[in-house]
Structure 1
Amino acid sequence: MTTLVKPPPIDPAKSPIENVLELTQLNDIDPNLFTNTRPLWTPKGARGIYGGAAIAQCLSAAQRTVPDDYAIHSMHCYFVMAGNAEIPVIYHVERVRDGRSFITRTVQARQRAKVIFTTTMSFARNNSGGTKRVEHQSSMARVPPPKDDTDDLRSGGGPGEQGPFQSQRIDILNDDSYDPTIKRTRQWTKVAGNISKEGGHQAHLSALAYMSDSYFIGTVARVHKLWRWATGSRSDRQSTVDEMTLKKLLSLDDRVLKERAGMDESTIQRLRNGENIVKEYPMIGMMVSLDHTIYFHNPRAFRADDWLYSEMESPWAGDGRGLVFQKIFTREGVLVATCVQEGVVRLKQPNDSKI
């Protein structure tokens, strides 16, 4: 059973993201309890449900307990266990504090009484900073604008389904450098369709939270030009991964092998001569998120159904972990959120039977 109650029909008046993130309030048990109305998505090769769904639904649950004249400004999350898409999620909202300027909420996502995700959020009352303010923001880089007339990568959906948001990747900045800390991975994202008036600014905030987890910790792999292929179940991956990886490498032209895989000409020549270089080539063995923080700077100054520009960088990786920073701007250059994520990033080890 993927939900506690049978999901209602899809509401065509709402955007796909609103339907995906819809919550059912369990008033008969506790008004502070919520559950996912519709089944959750597990990305291909992932260990559990898409992390952005847990982030966004926790935010949606907390927003249901906060007055409309307050808006989220910070959210600190921890991924405790992989969520199972076959089991309903229960979101428990704890009303920690209701102050004159700030409200604090903690939300735990649970499956079978075990916590899989926890977050603490702070909401600020609108215009509580006064008429005189200290203000500044980072500038948005000059990048190619999004293309509205092309097919986009639809993300966040199950097999055979179109996901609830679109993305367009931009070439990695400084991709030819040997220094991963100066590289910037960049993309445009927006939700599919139009968010309804009924959803209000809360729906746009939840949608941004959902999209913020897209390719986030994967930035570490991209700036190091690491590859990650996972096929089949864990028990049979060891016998097939080298063959699948070699087949994939052979299908790529020399330019892509240089730019994306970081191979030099001698290594490419050895590959073309039939040598199996896979065992000596670094590959991701495990990559999962540990924590996720979002600072919302202008919670009412953007629409998630218009293009948002994301720029990510990784200032550090080591000891089997990696750290990534992300800035999210409107297409007009308004900084609407800054995000931080740390995750497990482990390479496949020699003679490692587990990936």
Structure 2
Amino acid sequence: MASKRVTVFESPPLDDSKASIENVLELTPILDIGPDVFTNTRPLWHPPGARGIFGGAVIAQSLCAAQRTVPEHFYVHSMHCYFVLAGDSEIPIIYHVERVRTGKSYATRTVQARQRGRPIFTTTLSFNKIQSGGDKKVEHGSTMPVVSPPKNTPTPPDARSPFETQRLDGDNSLKDTPIDERRLYQWVRFRGEISESGGHQAHLSALAYMSDSYFIGTVARVHGIPRFSSPAALQRVMKALKNPSDLDGDGISRYFKELAEEEAAEIRASTINGTLTANKLSSIIKRRDNREIGMMVSLDHTIYFHDPLAFRADDWMLCRMESPWAGEGRGLVMQKIWSKDGVHIATCVQEGVVRLRQDEEARDAKL
């Protein structure tokens, strides 16, 4: 047996009757500690080059834990999160739920995610009983932009993510638009079909998981700063792989080739028949202004779920992201999400650390 376990209990086989995201977010109660304490059933993903596990997983599992403690027909309408420490993918996470208040129409919960007894993440959630507002309502919502519909493409057999995305150019040219007005779009849906047994809570948890995807990265994208500004930057990330077993051999090359292709699309680099050559890759990640992201991590994350029953997470959803402000080593991003049929289902806000590598750091990296 290994000296460290990534889960408290041995992980059961994957449930083929459920979508991939349901298996990813599955929780196991720890009754020996308390009635509202849970842990991750399966190992969590640590993205290559990231400081810790994928933040969306902790957000979503905290929501899953809180959902288990509220009355029937109560659905989450807001979630306010703070990332305290980077999560370690080689250590189990323990989720402690506190039942702050349960009223007739609203319920409040707090969840603290801990590793080695220390909090790595905390969130406060509010739940609303469906149809508690009466028949007469004040209603309006943002209109979904008219953008190209998603293309149904076959799922690659080696797909790592439980969801798939199709990025789009915005409705304006980034280079001709003020930075705070630049908007980025992507279609998102989860692979497979979310089971009926998971209920609509499974769709809400999936949406929470996806909401952290590429989010704080919007700041770099609207500024045209690529993820890798030089071949040396790319090599630094490869050397910092936390879980190379997930991407060994050809997997590593394939992963970074995909990232490079994303970079190419974002900065409108020229391509040959849609593919990149080695020379093209070198020119794409070599920027004339030499700006390079030194640190980019999330600080806080808020989700407002507007219409929890009006969508399926395994059907296409449109996300629009923008950054109204950046400065003082931080950036603010906003995201609106619509169902495929145009219902405004969620709004997200995130602030994060966004620091550029300084001149002395770049000089030291060359030595």
Asked if Structure 1 and Structure 2 have the same fold, meaning a TM-score greater than 0.5 normalized by the shorter chain, the answer is: yes
Instruction: Look up the equivalent residue of 1:348 and give its one-letter code.
Output: R
Aligned match for 2:49, one of 42, 45, 49: 45
With over 3 angstroms needed to count, the CA separation of the structure-2 counterparts of 1:291 and 1:350, relative to structure 1, is: same
In the alignment, which residue of structure 1 is the partner of 2:29?
A: 25
Structure 1 residue 173 displacement after superposition: 3.4
The yes-or-no answer on 1:93 pairing with 2:97 is: yes
Please give the per-residue CA displacement for 1:180-237, whole angstroms capped at 9, x wherever unaligned: 1111110011110000000000000000000011100000010000022344568978
Aligned residue number for residue 3 of structure 1: 7
Change in CA separation of 1:351 and 1:152 when aligned onto 2, cut-off 3 Å: farther
Q: Secondary structure at the match of 2:169?
A: strand
> How many corresponding residue pairs?
323
1:119 and 1:153, CA in 2 relative to 1: closer, same or farther beyond 3 A?
A: farther
Query: Does 1:187 find its partner at 2:201?
Result: no
3-state SS in 2 of match to 1:61: helix
In structure 1, how many angstroms separate the alpha carbons of the residues matched to 2:266 and 2:354? 22
Kept after mapping to 1: 8 A contact 2:79/2:123:
yes
Decide whether the 8 Å contact of 1:45 with 1:231 is kept in 2: no
Asked if the contact 2:48–2:238 (Cα under 8 Å) also holds between the matched residues in 1, the reply is no
Give aligned-pair identity as a percent. 59
RMSD across aligned C-alpha pairs, in angstroms?
2.6
Q: Match of 1:321? A: 330
Distance 1:279 1:36, change over 3 A: same
Match of 1:120 among 95, 120, 124: 124
Out of 308, 318, 342, the position equivalent to 2:317 is 308
Find 1:75's aligned residue among 79, 83, 97.
Answer: 79
**Residue of structure 1 equivalent to 2:347:** 338
1:160-199 counterparts in 2 under 5 A? 162-174=160-172, 175-199=174-198
Q: Deviations over 1:95-151 (max 9, x none)?
A: 000111110000000000000000000000111111111111010000000111x24
1:144-293 → structure 2 map (5 Å cutoff): 144-148=148-152, 150-151=153-154, 162-174=160-172, 175-229=174-228, 230-231=233-234, 259=268, 280-293=289-302
Distance 1:50 1:256, change over 3 A: closer
- 8 Å CA contact retained: 1:152, 1:167: no
Distance 2:129 2:265 in 1: 50
Query: How far off is 1:45 after superposition?
Result: 1.0
Deviation at 1:162, TM superposition (A): 2.5
TM-score (norm 1): 0.85
Q: How many Å apart are 1:171 and its aligned residue?
A: 1.1
Question: d(CA) in 2 for partners of 1:285 and 1:299?
Answer: 37
Given that 2:221 and 2:266 are in contact with CA atoms closer than 8 Å, whether structure 1 keeps it comes out as no
Alpha-carbon spacing, 1:257–1:191, altered in 2? closer, same or farther (3 Å): closer
Cα distance in 1 for partners of 2:214, 2:309 equals 25
1:35 counterpart residue number: 39
Given candidates 143, 148, 151, the residue that maps to 2:147 is 143
Seen in structure 2, the aligned counterparts of structure 1 residues 114 and 74 have a Cα distance that, compared at 3 Å, is same
Which amino acid in the other structure matches residue 205 of structure 1? L
Separation of aligned partners in 2, 1:207 and 1:46: 21
TM-score where L is the length of structure 2: 0.82
Indicate yes or no: 2:297 matched with 1:297: no
**Deviation digits for residues 285-329 of structure 1, max 9, x if unmatched?**
110000000000000111000000000111000001000110000
Distance 2:295 2:133 in 1: 44
Q: Retained in 2: the 8 A contact 1:330–1:336?
A: yes
* Structure 1: gaps of 5 or more residues: 155-159, 238-247, 262-270
* Contact 2:293–2:357, Cα closer than 8 Å, also in 1: yes
Structure 2 counterpart of 1:45, which letter?
G
Q: Which runs of 5+ in 2 are unaligned?
A: 241-256, 271-279
Q: Which whole-Å deviations, capped at 9, do the CAs of 1:148-189 have from their partners, x for residues lacking one?
A: 1x24689xxxxx652211111111332222511111110011
Deviations 1:41-82 (A, max 9, x none): 011110000000000000000000011211100000000000
Following the alignment from structure 2 to structure 1, what is the Cα–Cα distance between the partners of residues 182 and 171? 5
Q: How far, CA to CA, are the matches of 2:104 and 2:340 in structure 1?
A: 34
Counterpart of 2:175 in 1: which secondary structure?
A: coil
Letter in structure 1 aligned against 2:212: D
Counterpart code for 1:125: K
Aligned to 2:60: 56
Q: Is the 8 A contact 1:217 1:341 kept in 2?
A: yes
